[in-house]
Amino acid sequence: MERIINKLNPKDRELFDKMVNNYASENEKIFFERMRYKQEHIYTSANDLVFHENDNEDALFLIRLDFDEYILSYSGNDRECEECHTQSLSDVLAINLKEHNLSDKDMTLLEWLRSIDYACVLYDNNYDWI
């Protein structure tokens, strides 16, 4: 058995446990299983790009730092937006995109990911390895 090197944030542990057997799609299952694995086993000092602004029509990007910190932002130049830095996956997924001027869509990041069935998520873009 592989040794866990990072203890999950309690909110993330609860989120991951709650998601088991409640996934909206196979892609959602892959997303949560891989993110849990990364948060428990894979540290990144140079950032892990979860999705890139060029890979989705909303020009959003998400970066994972260390084990479980995240930065969500928007790369378009048509509006001022808030860069959102969180200490857990559960917090970043709960961000309302419209409230932070990241999108015109009034939905959380989790709802947005579900709406595109996780199509833009990258699983092997840890800049420590590139």
pLDDT at 80 over 80: no
HEC readout, the chain? CCCCCCCCCHHHHHHHHHHCCCCCCHHHHHHHHHHHHHHHHCCEEEEEEEECHHHCCCCEEEEEEECCEEEEEECCCCCCCCCEEECCHHHHHCCECCCCCCCCCCCEHHHHHHHCCCCCCCCCCECCCC
pLDDT band, residue 122 (cuts 50/70/90): very high
What's the whole-model pTM score?
A: 0.92
Query: What does the pLDDT read at residue 1?
Result: 56
Q: Report CA torsion sign: 88, 71, 65, 49.
A: positive
What would the pLDDT profile of 18-76 be if each residue is shown by its tens digit?
A: 999 999 999 999 999 999 999 999 999 889 999 999 999 999 999 999 999 999 999 87
Nearest residue to 39 (alpha-carbon basis) of 82, 86, 83, 109: 86
